[in-house]
Amino acid sequence: MSAKKTNVDRGVTINKSEFKAAVVKHLHCTLGTDENKANNHAWWKATCAAMQEQVLEGLRKTQKTHYLNDTRAVHYFSAEFLMGRLLSNNLQNFGLFDVANAALNELGISLSDVLEEEPDMALGNGGLGRLAACFIDSLATMELPAIGYGIHYEHGLFRQEIQAGAQIERPDSWRDYGNPWEICRPESIQEVSLYGYVETKYGENGRIQKEWHPGHIVKGIPWDIPVVGYGGKTVNVLRLWQSKASGYFNWDVFNAGGYVDAQVENVQAETISKVLYPNDETEAGKELRLIQQYFFCACSLKDIIRRYKRAHGDDWSRFVDQVVIQLNDTHPAIAIPELMRILVDRAELDWDKAWAICTKVFAYTNHTLLPEALERWPARMLEKILPRHLEIIYEINHRFMKEVDKKWPGDNSVKARLSIIEEGPEKMVRMGHLSVVGSYAVNGVAELHSRLVKENLFPEFDQLWPGKLTNVTNGITPRRWLKTCNPALSKLIDSKVGDDWPLDLKKLAGIEKYASNKTFQKQFMQVKLQNKKVLAEEIKQSLGIDVDTDAIFDVQIKRLHEYKRQHLALLYIMALYRRLLENPDYDMHPRVFIFGAKAAPGYKLAKDIIFAINKVADKINNDARVNQKLKVAFLPNYRVSLAEKMIPAADVSEQISTAGKEASGTGNMKLALNGAVTIGTLDGANIEIAEEVGDENIFIFGLTVDEVKALKASGYKPYDYYYKNAEIKAVLDWLETDYFTPGKPGALASIKQSLLDHGDQYLVLADYEAYSEAQEAVDKAYRDKERWARMAIINTAKMGKFTSDRSIKDYVERIWKLNACPVVKE
């Protein structure tokens, strides 16, 4: 193969025949099969193993470099890492994609078929987990010393099946046939204590000493997943902890003849890392979830301290120079009292010294303002599981309340608002408050969100500690979300601006000058059409629906939640259906509404909305009177690998949350980067996307945050919209009939009820008319092919700001104060 001219400096080089030899070697020696017998799964594993040889060399060199340089590192604590598939990403980041493709080709194997064999690593719910995955990609790419810490769930987010229109949850078993990327590190196993009681002792010097006598000990087994930076030079680690029974405790039971009881303990210990909680935006309040959180935080802190002590012994004075811990939401907030416990009870530092360390180590990212998503744990539950931690939290709060009293003397209402402990029928520990008090920096994830965090969520905190609350707008990795998922568009971009845009996304602005160029427009839209054909094939395969690739592909992909308002789109689809029935000549460009969404299993209305979308889709898709112009496709089991197919094919990106509710959104960025035009509210990062692309290249509609507030204050009456707008009334009434659910009238009525009788919390009806008008503007714009091509190109061109490299640069400069540590060539 001829060497291509490239601006990207690579850490490794291996040629086609070497790669081919490595794959065959692993097919024989690792998989125990051969070229004639191997199926695609075996080829996938052999290809991963060939790749992993390169990855592990990079990992070894990186770890050696970081060790020799005794680097300050960020430790990204997150209960979720939504990694998706790794092979194509690792090949791309190492610059070996074309090499592997050619090597497999010579073996008569299709790389794209092999890539389809990989199960997604779905160890996350949605945006928060995927953000963590994008961030560790950027950290490695930018050669920053970093480690991700999380949980090695045996089962990731459930697999969604749709049966008769309804969501059914099935277990996800991503590791059933082995995971070729992970490395078990038994040498770094940690033990974690739970339950028991606290003994108070009085030392010789009169110092009160606390000793926690745990009732239970579990082991944490670390599994390392290498994280390959673009260019293949730095390979960082994602370290995920698996729980196991600790042999130590169980032997007593065993020896007493309790063989069966010992097994019960094993099962209990192993339950901790068994399954990812599928709730997003609601706190579960379950004991096991708190144990999961503490389990991975305690293992990770021990790991960090072990590494620190190896270099610095018992001298804690440099800890804050070496270690920063970023808390991805409050899920790992229990790490704050855990570090205090280690410093005060174990290292015997006095409280003030320990607190000074703690509050220089932790930083906290808030991802939500929704009250139901703010974690609060019953004090009673903490007392049972982590008795010493509850004491420490009380002590933190006691000292904090004194500080509050200094600032607002005698003001009990401000104390009640700021207290980490919420008084009430049941005392609750507010993990958000604990995180703010215990961290030196707190950030929201988009400009608007961070303003609302300051003004509404933690108002007095901003007065107490000016500057502590700040913003870092989210980002996405352009390596996965453009280069890897959309190779055709990437090549077109390369031909105009060179191939180093994945490292410097602002370079995409270089295509703006071709936005009105007819040839470029044709090329750009040709790529889009090809991607639409691929997705159309997927829709045909998965749902049996034929879709017209000349139609507008209107895509809404995200978790199902009332605040995200998939049902606003649904009402509009029903309205279009009705318009077409009433007037077969109703003038609209053909459109396919494409959805992907999982609902939390216990979230009844979210599941009802999925059911309704599927029932309305059935009817419309099979109605010859309208199905040349309107189709609806709900693709089951939305996940990272499906997103990679849907995003490159989207014309329109639906970002229609109630203003003030979506903290940032990141799907909005991915879709715009791939040339989809947004229809959206002034919410989250949509606002910043609009600033970048300009008002003429986005369809903004609906109430603003201030208008939402005013409307709610004035007493919002959804029935007013129902009676005022005949279309709204007609579609809501339609939901109550059996038109979409023959023989079962009322099967879709819960949606109508929520919008009328339950108050329409998310102002769907208030925004309906504006949404409908914005959709008509979309329709008009799309019909002007040149105008649409220009808009699409400008969307891609202007996404430079939203690379996760920029987010990471913001964190590094403003919060983490890290230096890059280039890996030395040996």
* Footprint of ligand F55 (CB under 6 A): 125-129, 131, 279-281, 283, 367-368, 373, 445, 474, 662-666, 684
Beta carbons within 8 Å of 598's beta carbon, 6+ residues apart: 157, 158, 160, 167, 278, 559, 560, 637, 638
Decide whether 478 or 684 has the Cβ nearer to ligand F55. 684
Torsion of CA 31, 36, 37, 39, to 10 degrees: 80
If the CB atoms of residues 157 and 515 are measured against ligand F55, the closer one turns out to be 157
- Please report how close the Cβ of residue 184 comes to ligand F55 at its closest, in angstroms: 27
Query: Beta strand pairing status for 216-228 and 183-184?
Result: antiparallel
666 included as an active-site residue: yes
Nearer to ligand F55, 281 or 338 (CB): 281
Nearer to ligand F55, 435 or 490 (CB): 435
Decide whether 129 or 226 has the Cβ nearer to ligand F55: 129
Question: Rounded distance, CA 775 to CA 5, Å?
Answer: 44
Q: Is 484 an active-site residue?
A: no
Whether the Cβ atoms of residue 46 and residue 27 lie closer than 8 Å to each other: yes
- In the residue annotation, 427 being an active-site residue is answered as no
Of 219, 433, 468, 559, the active-site residue reads 559
For residue 754, give the nearest of 775, 738, 732 by alpha carbon.
732
Q: CB pairs under 8 A, 24+ apart, for 532-536?
A: 532/649, 532/651, 534/645, 534/648, 534/649, 535/594, 535/645, 535/646, 535/648, 535/649, 536/649
Residues 6+ apart with CB under 8 A from 177: 41
Query: Which helix (DSSP H) or strand (DSSP E) does residue 595 occupy?
Result: strand 591-596
- Nearest C-alpha neighbor of 818 from the set 145, 327, 65, 304: 145
Catalytic residue among 234, 330, 658, 666: 666
Q: How many CB atoms are located within 10 Å of the residue 666 CB?
A: 25
Nearer to ligand F55, 474 or 681 (CB): 474
Of 474 and 795, which CB lies nearer to ligand F55 in the complex structure?
474
How far does CA 323 lie from the centroid of its chain?
24
Least Å distance, CB 341 to ligand F55, is: 24
Q: Scanning the structure block, which residue is given the tokens 């799309």?
A: 782
Q: State yes or no: is 380 an active-site residue.
A: no
Catalytic residue among 155, 239, 558, 565: 558
Q: Which of 155, 670, 752, 798 is catalytic?
A: 670
> Rounded to whole angstroms, what are the CA distances from 166 to 151, 299, 466, 573, 763?
30, 39, 49, 19, 25
Could you tell me the smallest distance in angstroms from the CB atom of residue 645 to ligand F55? 21
Q: Is 559 a catalytic residue?
A: yes
Contacting residues for 610 by C-beta, under 8 A, at least 6 apart: 162, 165, 166, 167, 560, 597, 599, 634
Exactly one of 564, 565, 591, 752 is catalytic; which is it? 564
Beta-carbon neighbour count of residue 105 at 10 Å?
13
Catalytic entry in 75, 341, 367, 615: 367
SS (H, E, C) 72-101: CEEEEECCCEEEECCHHHHHHHHCCHHHHH
Is 399 part of the annotated catalytic residue set?
A: no
Helix (H, G, I), strand (E, B) or coil at 805: helix
Among 357, 328, 327, 326, which residue's Cα sits nearest to residue 342? Answer: 357
Minimum distance between the CB of residue 129 and ligand F55, rounded to whole angstroms? 6
797 token code pair: 């061109």
Q: Residues with Cβ < 8 Å from 448, sequence gap 6 or more?
A: 660, 682, 683, 684, 687, 705
> Considering beta carbons, is residue 182 or 283 the nearer one to ligand F55?
283
Minimal distance, residue 459 CB to ligand F55, in Å: 21
The least CB distance from residue 124 to ligand F55, in Å, is 7
Q: What is the DSSP string of 330-380?
A: STTTTHHHHHHHIIIIIS---HHHHHHHHHHHEEEE-----GGGS-EEEHH
How far apart are CB 331 and ligand F55 at their closest, in Å? 6
Cα 648 to the chain's mean position, in Å? 19
- The CB-of-798 to ligand F55 minimum distance in angstroms stands at 19
Round to whole Å and give the CA distance between 735 and 577. 13
Instruction: Compute the least distance from the CB of residue 373 to ligand F55, in Å.
Output: 5
Minimum CB distance to ligand F55, residue 480 (Å): 16
Q: Which residue is nearest to ligand F55 (CB)?
A: 127
How far apart (Å, rounded) are the C-alpha atoms in residues 264 and 259?
9
In sequence order, what are the beta bridge partners of 184?
A: 223
Residue nearer to ligand F55 on the CB measure, 308 or 563: 563
For ligand F55, which is the closer residue by CB, 684 or 702? 684
What are the catalytic residues?
367, 558-559, 564, 666, 670
